[in-house]
Structure 1
Amino acid sequence: MVGAGRGQVTGLVTAAVLVLALLNVAQSVFVPLAFAVLVIALVWPLQAALQRVMPRLVALLITLLVTIIAVVAVGSSIAWGLSVLGHWLFLNAGRFQTVYIDWTQWLEEHGVAIAGPLSEQFNVGWLVGLLQGAAGRMNSVAGLMLVVFISVMLGLLEVEDFKRRLLLRSVQPQGAMILEANFRIGAKLRRFMAVRTFASVLTGLVVWIFARFVGLELAAAWGAIAFALNYIPFLGPFIATAFPTLFAIAQFESWQSAVFVFVGLNLIQFVIGSYFEPRLTGASLAISPFAVIFAVFFWSFMWGLPGAFIGVPILICLIEYGAQVPATRWIATLLSGNEGSGDGGN
């Protein structure tokens, strides 16, 4: 019995490793699929409501148009912010070089040596190349979105047929369990994204006001970047805080001002992320903070920037599906922050 149990565990671990390897190697297939499923879950209520009063294809066209507008609004904000940032950086890169040299000399005077290659690399060309790399990633994301929208279009046309197949007697009781889990996942994902959008808008607005108050240049760009990056838990707010701090060092040429900017931006992120968001999401979306951090970093490792964005929605799906199966219900309970999440019905 012990040997059989060990063999079963070994088989499960081997299967899990193979599945994860497949997800990583074939990410060009699975990343658009995962995003398409997320978008379908978010916009299906709109599609269902519209097709009750108009032809199905017309409703689909309106739903896709609304979806494109929403995605373009988020993508354009960060693209515009990076373009403004790149132009300012090209014109003012000498400030960074001067500050870097001054700080290097100060550190060397106090016994901290800076490696030579790092000093040679920190120049205008390196900074421009960094922004070009970010622009290239944005272009790859744009190509991903095209595939996603095609998948969403086809998926929305099949949702009702898929529901009917799940209700067939031949697929019970698994069909009913999947249908119930899908319903609950859709509701949770829509609430999660609604709260995340509100928090992102609020974060961008407050960051813009704060940047103008302290006299930080490119205040509108920092607000737009903070708005877009706030959709990525932990990593997004960290980047949205680190970059303005670095620019504050070059602009004000004072570490005291940079520290004030750093503390102010982190305070904004902390208040909105740790106070407002948990109260808006409520207990039904409570997830272990460690599970959220792990999901963001793990899916970032697997799929890059798209993985960081979709990591938490994938975690929500895993928790909900796990809560439907008695054998994995304990895992869902550990991953969630709600003690009653393991009953599969709350």
Structure 2
Amino acid sequence: MAKPIITLSGLKAVIMFGMIVIILVGIKIAAEIIVPFILALFIAIILNPMIRRLERVRVPRVMAIVLVISVIVCFVVLLLAYLGTTLNELTRTLPQYRSSLISPLQTLEPWLQRAGISVSVDELVKYIDPNAAMTLVTSLITQLSNAMTSIFLLLLTVVFMLTEVPQLPIKLQQLMSRPAEGMGAIQRALDSVSRYLVLKTAISLVTGLVVWIMLAMLDVRFAFVWALLAFSLNYIPNIGSVLAAIPPVAQVLVFSGLYEALLVVAGYLAINLVFGNIIEPRMMGRGLGLSTLVVFLSLIFWGWLLGPVGMLLSVPLTIAVKIALEQNEGGKSIAVLLSDVTKN
């Protein structure tokens, strides 16, 4: 009797792989709905420790939620108003970039020619179109004016999530066949993700503040915008701090010269060295439980699946997936591959 070409275990693996592909495609298609929900979930995880602290001082949970959300709404309104003004000013400044770029390019042209690279400044200037940048900034201003509706719905979702937190463990236990193990895994995931998000938010806030002070001392225009960019991109592991430094360095190089640009680069390097290599590892403790390669690959994967929000939340999402995989025999081997330690 001939042996079957595909064994039962192989068939299970193929079916499981197919199911994973279908799920990922579904998430990709429904990203516009899923991304706000995930973002609201992680915001609720960040805010829940504050709500608990207020409850400890005998503030009712509903009042605590209203108080925290009200502070956030006021801050967001002021931030969007300031950003709108700053982006309008940036729009008026953009046409100056073309004329300001000519002088540095003319200085660079002889060096390139000595290196055997034939470059014409006149031809390069033709490709510099400030109108495209102005269109981009105008689009950002329009999006900011429309962002209040999205932010309101997002915060409303966060309010309902925070309100449901006390009843959530009881509901989850009723859905699980093994409540003790399941709730233990969920609690570990929540503890790990919450600790990471709270510490990362605190570090990102201080990083943005230090960047703001540094750029203001160097008299760099739009220092607050670049500081806000540094705060946001600091959530992206490995490459976020590098991406945040590119716009201010380019601006200073064009308008102020090479020496001032090198000072800005040195400032960013010092900030990233202190916060990225000294303060953050000490505050995070033993580590995230993920290998460096997995952190980088998760950045690419979640960015592809969920867009920019996926890149910002790539580490906590991967931590949650790893803990979920550890709960069944079939996923433990994959969880070990994601881990930064090997078991003997």
- TM-score range relative to shorter protein: 0.7 to 0.9
C-alpha distance in structure 2 between counterparts of 1:101 and 1:134, whole Å: 32
TM-score of the superposed pair, with normalisation by structure 2: 0.81
Aligned to 1:205: 209
1:96 to 101, 125, 141: 101
Q: What is aligned with 1:317?
A: 320
Query: Does residue 1:153 correspond to 2:159, yes or no?
Result: yes
Is residue 2:193 matched to residue 1:189?
A: yes
With the length of structure 1 as denominator, give the TM-score of the two structures: 0.80
AA partner of residue 58 (structure 1): M
Which of 267, 275, 286 is residue 272 of structure 1 equivalent to? 275
Equivalent position SS for 2:7: helix
User: Larger deviation: 108-117 or 279-288?
Assistant: 108-117
In 2, Cα distance between the equivalents of 1:60 and 1:195? 21
Show structure 2 runs of 5+ residues with no match.
none
Once residues 212 and 172 of structure 2 are traced to their aligned partners in structure 1, the CA distance between those partners, rounded to angstroms, is: 48
Which of 176, 179, 187 aligns to 1:171? It is: 176
Change in CA separation of 1:77 and 1:260 when aligned onto 2, cut-off 3 Å: same
Choose the corresponding residue for 1:65, options 70, 73, 90. 70
1:244 deviates by 1.6
Cα distance between partner residues in 1 of 2:41 and 2:28: 18
Give 5+ residue unaligned stretches, structure 1: none
State the partner residue of 1:299. 302
- RMSD between superposed Cα atoms in Å: 3.5
* Residue 31 to residue 223, structure 1, CA distance change in 2 (3 Å): closer
* Count of residues paired in the alignment: 338
Instruction: After TM superposition, give the deviation of residue 273 of structure 1 in Å.
Output: 1.1
Instruction: Determine if the alignment matches structure 1 residue 24 to structure 2 residue 12.
Output: no
Asked if structure 2 preserves the Cα contact closer than 8 Å seen for 1:199 and 1:273, the reply is: no
Cα separation, 2, equivalents of 1:294 and 1:73: 36
Query: In 2, Cα distance between the equivalents of 1:305 and 1:156?
Result: 25
Determine if contact 2:105/2:121 at 8 Å carries over to the other structure: no
- Contact 2:46-2:198 within 8 A present in 1 as well: no
Q: Which residue of 45, 48, 69 maps to 1:44?
A: 48
> Is the 2:289–2:341 contact (alpha carbons within 8 Å) kept by the matching residues of 1?
yes
State which drifts further: 187-196 or 220-229: 220-229
Q: 2:168 is matched with which residue?
A: 162
Percent identical residues: 23
- Shifted more, 107-116 versus 270-279: the winner is 107-116
- Per the TM alignment, residue 35 of structure 1 is displaced from its structure 2 partner at its CA by 1.3
- Asked if the contact 1:222–1:244 (Cα under 8 Å) also holds between the matched residues in 2, the reply is yes
Larger Rg computed on CA atoms: 2
Tell me which amino acid in the other structure corresponds to 1:326. Answer: E
Aligned to 2:255: 251
TM-superposition CA deviations, 1:56-87 (whole Å, max 9, x none) = 54343234335546766887787676555445
Task: Give the Cα–Cα distance (whole angstroms) in 2 for the partners of residues 13 and 113 of structure 1.
Answer: 51
The residue type equivalent to 1:236 in the other structure is G
Letter in 2 for 1:327: G
Contact 1:97 1:122 in 2 (8 A): no
